[in-house]
A and B are shown apart, each in its own frame.
Chain A
Amino acid sequence: MFVQQLINGLALGAVYALIALGYTMVYGILHLINFAHGEVYMLGAYLGIIVMGVFTLAGLPAYSLPLTIVLTILISMAFCALYGAAIERFAYRPLRGASKLAPLISAVGVSIILQNVVMLTQGTEYKNLPPLLPSEGFDLFGANVSPVQAFILGSSIALMVILHVFVTRTRLGKAMRATSQDRIMAGLLGININQVISITFMIGSSLAAAAGVMVTLYYGVVHFFMGYLAGIKAFTAAVLGGIGSIPGAMLGGFMLGLIENFGASYISSVYKDAFAFLVLIITLILRPSGLLGQKALDKV
């Protein structure tokens, strides 16, 4: 049972980690909590179902199921990258010089707009995706690792490695880190700040979209309100790991997934959601900067 719960928790945690990365990257650069991020994840899940439906009509899954899934994820990621860039361009950039509260309220507004657009165009009921992958997987120390779980773990770790290499090894990644350290100075040294911020939003949104499609494959249901709770949980994960820190978001996501699963199985399944927020409160009291976060220095 322990191994099974470990695997369940890691698969759930991988999804949280992918969403949390978007929160933490945007916060690192803009010091803005992008409350519309959960909605981008929801859009990614809906796009996943729609693209999958189109492919099914075209007969692609019969030809190659893995190809269908990978293509669906890539298309959904591309669309959501555009959504992310557009949200930044129209809702946050005009408010960049304003007080910190203004973009935050704008983010809440975008979140409400996106939820309602999806509700009006897609309806209020659950949309279903029948199980595509078999539920019996391989046996690991007496636990069943289903193909979807293996796929979620594998692909999300791959995405995180790619992100890490991108941020630490490329010129653009360096520009991103420079912008997050000191936006004005980076601009003076010739970095195109607006472009870097746009790209940050695109990367964060496409990771959320990947998480959305994976969740759709995993649970088979999407709903216009699903971004709300997932967004808050991912935000919790980002704070747990230390908001602004990329490795912190990954660690926080996995930890949160494990805490929820072990809490639900060993303590009480009724209070499953409460464990996540209990952890958030304890973190904020004991270590406000998170597990891997740096102490905020007062800028002179």
Chain B
Amino acid sequence: MKGDRTMKRICAYISVVVAVAISLSACQSQQQNVVRIGAAGPMTGDQSKMGIDLRNSVELAVAEWNQRGGVLGKKIEVLAGDDQADPKQAVSVANKFINQKAVAVVGHWNSSCSIPTAKYYSDANMVMISPATTNPQFTLQGFKKVFRVCGTDDQQGRIAASFALTSLRPKKVAIIHDKTAYGQGLADFFQKALGNGAEIVYYGGIVQRDPDYKAVLTAIKEKKPDVYFFGGIYPEAGRLVRQAKEVGLTIPMITGDGVYDPTFVNISGKAADGTYVTFGKDPAGLTTARSFNEKYKKIYGEPGPYSIYAYDAANIILTAIKETGSTDGARVAEYIAKNTFQGAFGDISFDTNGDVAKAPYVVWQVRDGKFIEVK
């Protein structure tokens, strides 16, 4: 009797295992009927808006392709990966995408996340296009499958420095940065481009996420510079300009694309006015961007500063997959490197490093809480 019951139980276990195995293999075969694209950026934490903007844009582009019947006769699926703006998390996101057999990735957002992950994607034969990574190092690592659709920090630093020297004519300049690959890199390029044009009276780092920057701002005030440059992102920039006014530092801040976001003004209120920011041209004025802007607004609300770049990056990848008839990373990358793409942001082509052929930076200024292009 007892042996009989044990036998029955074993049979039941085996049948469950077999059933699970069959259903798993069914999943496996289904997996090959979709093309997966990763969207990676900070989706939680204080830079979460940037990662969510990025994911929204990729989803919008993919939804349009799926409406037209997908690519290579398959549906396209977006995998979202939250790197929390943390290089360690970014690597685990990369491994997750690789395990899920994604064919390409749009991301990451932060330079400190894109630079280390590029190797992982390249080794897994995936194409990587970052919509926002501006540190030059990103494309100089020798990987053939790595591209970016935005400008670089050396271009940005040059434009910021030449604007400062020709329009603001400062005698003394202070430079601070947030110690990240992006922030410190940008600050250094600005310093290099400034050359002997102005005396640098202060150079130093600040701690990201620290609520209080009054000590460093007071030290800067003491040196009496005419303008100060900040390499970093909007949460810190917002607190800096707000506290600068409180310690009586009234000179304007010059900063980079990481600060171009309405949240900067929300944090700092009136103190934001007068800040100079280097960023791409306004997509609202471009005829090619009109349809993107309308669709994005309808589904997700106002596009973020990098939404359009992420949308173009996703479209470039899908176009290349369609044209080459393959999801093989090397072939797709070769196609991307050799062709010009009509993006929402205009025509995009790449140089031998994988950077965009022409740098799109102009100088903006915050006036009455709005970013206005300085003509």
Contact = CB atoms under 8 A, between A and B. Distances in A.
Interface of A: 1, 4-5, 8-9, 12, 124-126, 128, 130-131, 135-136, 143-144, 146, 148-149, 215, 219-221, 223, 226, 260-266, 268-270, 272-273
Nearest to A12: B212
B44 A124 contact: yes
Contacts of A226: 211
8 contacts: A4-B247, A8-B212, A9-B215, A124-B44, A125-B46, A226-B211, A265-B218, A270-B206
Contacts of A143: 248
Interface of B, secondary structure class, is helix
Which A-B residue pairs are the 6 nearest by beta carbons? A264-B215, A144-B248, A135-B245, A269-B216, A1-B222, A8-B214
Contacts of A126: 46, 235, 267
Contacts of B215: 5, 8-9, 260-265, 269, 272
A141 to B, nearest CB: 12
Contacts of A219: 211-212, 239, 242-243
A130 B241 CA distance: 13
A174 B346 CA distance: 76
A19 to B, nearest CB: 13
A46 B271 CA distance: 23
A5 B219 CA distance: 9
A266 B101 CA distance: 52
Given A226-B211, A269-B219, 12 more contacts: A1-B221, A4-B247, A126-B267, A131-B242, A135-B246, A144-B248, A221-B211, A221-B239, A265-B218, A265-B219, A266-B219, A273-B210
A4 B212 CA distance: 14
A128 B205 contact: no
A215 B211 contact: yes
Contact of B246 (A146, A221, A269): A146
A212 B266 CA distance: 20
Contacts of A265: 215-216, 218-219
B322 interface: no
B200 to A, nearest CB: 16
A200 to B, nearest CB: 28
B235 A221 contact: yes
B271 A135 contact: yes
B319 interface: no
Interface of A, secondary structure class, is helix
B48 A264 contact: no
B45 A125 contact: yes
Contacts of B242: 131, 135, 219-220
Nearest to A223: B46
A144 B271 CA distance: 16
B331 interface: no
B218 A149 contact: no
Interface string B152-194: 0000000000000000000000000001000000000000000
Interface in B225-252: 235, 238-239, 242-243, 245-248
Given A8-B247, A130-B266, A125 B211 contact: no
Contact of A220 (B206, B219, B221, B267): B267
B50 to A, nearest CB: 11
B205 A269 contact: yes
A46 to B, nearest CB: 14
A9 B214 CA distance: 9
A221 B263 CA distance: 11
B48 to A, nearest CB: 5
Nearest to A1: B222
A264 to B, nearest CB: 4
Contacts of B263: 128
A8 B216 contact: no
Interface string B197-220: 000000011110111101110110
A255 B212 CA distance: 16
Contact of A128 (B49, B206, B266): B266
Nearest to A226: B211
Contact of A8 (B218, B235, B245, B267): B218
B205 A270 contact: yes
B218 A270 contact: no
- Which of B212, B219, B263 has the largest number of chain A CB atoms within 10 A? B212
Given A8-B214, A124-B48, A272-B207, A1 B266 contact: no
Contacts of A261: 214-215
A260 B235 CA distance: 21
Nearest to A266: B219
A221 B267 contact: yes
A144 B270 contact: no
Contacts of A146: 246
B218 A5 contact: yes
Nearest to B47: A125
B142 interface: no
Contact of A273 (B179, B207, B243, B267): B207
Contacts of A223: 46, 209
Interface string B32-49: 000000000000111011
